[in-house]
Amino acid sequence: MNDKSALTAERVRADVAELLGRDPGSIDPEESLLDLGLDSIRIMSLIDRWRAAGATVEYPDLAERPELAHWISVVTGEVAA
């Protein structure tokens, strides 16, 4: 299904939390996801997942600023709360 409307801030947060093994609400939107344990392999798996849902996102878009708030903005166009 290529439905970018399915890509919400909540979905991005939940997908990241799932790969980190954390509660979605426990991730500070401005904290470095790399410091929390996210690595390049996991970032690529997220990119694949989000592309399948209709996002146009590239690795450098996420790697340059590995904060959840930035990723939500890139993937969904929404501003992270």
* C-alpha to C-alpha distance for 34 and 29, rounded to whole angstroms: 13
Whether residue 72 has pLDDT greater than 80: yes
Query: 13: closest CA among 3, 32, 26?
Result: 26
**Per-residue pLDDT tens over the stretch 4-40:** 568 999 999 999 999 999 999 999 999 999 999 999 9
pLDDT at residue 6, rounded to an integer: 83
pLDDT at residue 80, rounded to an integer: 63
- Amino acid of residue 35: D
3-state secondary structure of 64: coil
Whether residue 1 has pLDDT greater than 60: no
Which whole number is the average pLDDT over 42-59? 95
pLDDT at residue 45, rounded to an integer: 97
